[in-house]
A and B are shown apart, each in its own frame.
Chain A
Amino acid sequence: MTNPAPLLDVSGLTVSYGAVEAVRGIDLKVTKGEIVTLLGANGAGKSSTLNALVGLAPRRARQLSFAGEDIAHLTPELIVRRGMTLVPEGRRIFPTLTVAEHLLLGGAKHAARGPLAETQAEMLALFPILKERLHQKAGSLSGGEQQMLAVARALMSSPDLLLLDEPSLGLAPQVVDRIFALISDLRARGLTILLVEQNVALALDIADRGYVLVNGRIEIAGSARDLMASAAIRDAYLGA
Chain B
Amino acid sequence: MDIFLQQLLNALSLGGTYALLALGLAVVFSIIGLINFAHGELMTAAGYVMAFALAAALPFPLAIALAVAAPVLLATAMERVAFRPVRGASGTTLLLTSFAVSAILRVLFQNFISARPVPVPMPSALSGVINLGPLHLGIIQSISIATTALMLIGLTLFLNRTVAGRAMRAASEDFAIVRLMGLRANGVVATAFAISGLLAGVAGLLWVAQRGSVDPLMGFLPVLKAFIAAIIGGLGSLTGAVAGGFLLGFIEVTLQAWLPEAWLPYRDAVAIMLVIAVLLFRPQGLLARKTVLKL
Q: Do A and B bind each other?
A: yes
Known: A56-B295, A104-B163, A108-B167. A94 touches B181 (CB 8 A): no
A42 on the B face (CB < 8 A): no
Q: Which residues of chain A have C-beta atoms less than 8 A from B180's C-beta?
A: 54, 56, 76, 80, 85-86, 88, 154
Most buried by B among A92, A94, A104, A109: A94
Q: Taking chain B's interface residues, is the majority helix, strand, or loop, or is none over half, making it mixed?
A: helix
Asked, given contacts A97-B169, A97-B170, A104-B166, whether A77 binds B185 with beta carbons under 8 Å apart, the answer is yes
Instruction: Find residues 146-194 in chain A having any chain B CB closer than 8 Å to their own CB.
Output: 153-154, 157
CA distance A157 to B179 in the complex (A): 12
**Interface range for B:** 10 to 19
Does A5 lie at the interface of the complex (its beta carbon under 8 Å from any beta carbon of B)?
no
B177 touches A (CB below 8 Å): yes
A-chain residues with CB within 8 Å of residue B176 when the two chains form the complex? 56, 76, 92
Q: CB-CB < 8 A to B183: which residues of A?
A: 77, 105, 108
With an 8 A cutoff between CB atoms, is A101 at the interface? yes
Q: What mask results when residues 162 to 202 of chain B are scored 1 for a CB within 8 Å of chain A, else 0? A: 01001101100110111111111100000000000000000
- In the bound complex, how far is the Cα of B73 from the Cα of A143, in angstroms? 43
Q: How far is the CB of B158 from chain A (nearest CB, A)?
A: 14
**Interface code A94-107, partner B: CB below 8 Å = 1, 0 otherwise?**
11110001001110
Binary per-residue interface labels of chain B (57-82) against chain A in the complex, 1 for a CB within 8 Å, 0 otherwise: 00000000000000000000000000
Pick the contact of A92: B174, B182, B184 (CB < 8 A).
B174
Q: How far is B109's CA from A192's CA once the two chains are assembled, in angstroms?
A: 58
Instruction: Convert B275-295 into 0s and 1s, putting 1 for each residue whose CB lies closer than 8 angstroms to a CB of A.
Output: 000000000000001000001
**How many Å lie between the Cα of A81 and that of B295 in the bound state?**
19
A75 CB-CB contact with B under 8 Å = yes
Chain A residues proximal to chain B, CB less than 8 Å: 54, 56, 75-77, 80-81, 85-86, 88, 92, 94-97, 101, 104-106, 108-109, 153-154, 157
**14 extra interface residue pairs, beta carbon distance < 8 Å, beyond A56-B180, A153-B181, A154-B180:** A54-B180, A75-B185, A76-B185, A77-B184, A80-B181, A97-B166, A97-B170, A101-B166, A101-B170, A104-B166, A105-B166, A105-B181, A108-B182, A109-B182
* 14 sampled A-B residue pairs with Cβ under 8 A: A56-B176, A56-B179, A56-B180, A76-B179, A76-B180, A80-B180, A80-B181, A85-B180, A92-B176, A94-B174, A97-B173, A104-B163, A108-B163, A153-B181
